[in-house]
Amino acid sequence: MANNTETGAVEVRAVAKFVRVAPRKARLVVDQIRNKSCDKALEILQFSEVAAAEPVAKCLRSAMANAENNNGLRRDTLYVKAAYVDEGPTLKRFRPRAKGSASRINKRTSHITVVVAPGKEA
């Protein structure tokens, strides 16, 4: 939780770490929900066919629950103030190839962060 002392606004965040989704693919989903009301963002994620939408929605619901239970904020006034995806550690795997060689397969992970704040009723 971060309190912005200048404006008095409360920001509440949730972080999902080591999610087995490539960051590049998760960023496509996160870009769609930034600066939207939380209810609208959940609706967008629910009908998104991208696999990364599920862990992003889970992180958003967690941030909303944190705001509601820990800070006493009303759910219907929350909006997604910030949402970003950082790169986590890459799992390196090998696949056998022709003539006894091997090629590396990178299984990338993500750290998904969602920040919600009251205001901007939409």
* Residue-wise pLDDT tens digits, 30-61: 999 999 999 999 999 999 999 999 999 999 99
Residue 75, SS3?
helix
Instruction: Extract the tokens encoding 96.
Output: 């056998």
14 closest CA partner among 101, 113, 96, 97 = 113
Which residue shows structure tokens 């606004």?
9
Which residues, given as ranges, of the chain have pLDDT below 70? 1-8, 120-122
Q: How far is CA 98 from CA 80, 92, 102, 105, 121, in A?
A: 49, 19, 8, 15, 59
**Contact predicate 55/21, CB 8 Å:** yes
pLDDT at 119: 84
pLDDT at 88: 96
Residues in Cβ contact with 72 at an 8 Å cutoff, skipping those fewer than 6 apart: none
What whole-number distance in Å separates Cα of residue 39 and Cα of residue 50?
Answer: 19
Q: Which domain holds residue 63?
A: 2-118
Q: Can you give the CATH number for the domain in which 30 is found?
A: 3.90.470.10
Domain count, the chain: 1
* Biggest CA-to-CA distance, the chain: 65
